[in-house]
């Protein structure tokens, strides 16, 4: 069975923030808010849990650092040791200051690229995916708040009109 949702459109991010706070205070569950640009503080106003993506970024950086150390030790010390400029390559620790830029670059490389992949997978953004945006105006200049209706249509409509919605539509989800 398809459920009915109400779409409230706003044309200002400050009005949207006030509306989200008012709707949450009235104990309604906001399904999603579609915005043309990031709105600072919207996640807290909606009551969303803080992201743990920074933890994965740190772990990816650690993986990159480990790969850099193992790679440089194998290539420059074990597999093909060379006497470059009078510096013997017989131990990793003696040559580590020369390897610091490589360690830094691979740490950043792994963290950045794996974070992009993680973001796309977590957001379910893959090639040829259909857009989930319910209205194209939310990519230009409007904000849309989506709330599921549970037999309280008129109450929600009145509440959203009081919050400054410029347009209210009811659709099947």
Q: What is the 3-state secondary structure (H, E, C) of the chain?
A: CCCEEEEEEECCHHHHHHHHHHHHHCCCCEEEEECCCCCCCHHHHHCCCCCCHHHHHHHHHHHHHHHHHHHHHHHHHHHCCCCECCECCCCHHHHHHHHHHHHHHHHHHHHHHHHHHHHHHHCCCCCCCCCCCCCHHHHCCCEEEEEECCCCHHHHHHHHHHCCCCEEEEEEC
CA atoms within 13 A on the CB side of 20: 27
pLDDT tens, N- to C-terminus, the chain (173 residues) = 468 899 999 999 999 999 999 999 999 999 999 999 999 999 999 999 988 889 999 999 999 999 999 998 898 888 887 777 666 667 777 778 888 999 999 999 999 999 999 999 988 888 888 888 898 899 899 999 999 988 888 889 999 999 999 999 999 87
Task: State the pLDDT at residue 51.
Answer: 85
- Structure confidence at residue 96 (pLDDT): 82
The residue with tokens 């659709």 is: 171
Q: Whole-model pTM?
A: 0.71
């Amino acid at each position: 069975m398809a459920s009915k949702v109400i779409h409230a459109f706003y044309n200002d991010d400050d009005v949207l923030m006030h509306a989200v706070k008012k709707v949450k205070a009235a104990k309604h569950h906001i399904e999603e808010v579609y915005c043309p640009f990031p709105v600072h503080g919207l996640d807290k106003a909606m009551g969303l849990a803080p992201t743990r993506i920074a933890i994965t970024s740190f772990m990816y950086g650690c993986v990159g650092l480990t790969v850099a150390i193992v790679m440089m030790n194998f290539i420059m010390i074990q597999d093909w040791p060379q006497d470059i400029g009078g510096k013997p390559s017989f131990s990793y620790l003696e040559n580590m200051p020369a390897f610091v830029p490589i360690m830094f670059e691979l740490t950043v490389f792994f963290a950045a690229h794996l974070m992009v992949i993680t973001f796309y997978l977590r957001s379910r953004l893959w090639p040829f995916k259909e857009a989930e945006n319910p209205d194209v105006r939310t990519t230009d200049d409007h904000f849309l708040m989506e709330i599921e209706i549970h037999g309280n249509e008129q109450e929600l409509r009145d509440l959203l009109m009081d919050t400054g919605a410029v347009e209210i539509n009811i659709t099947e989800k």
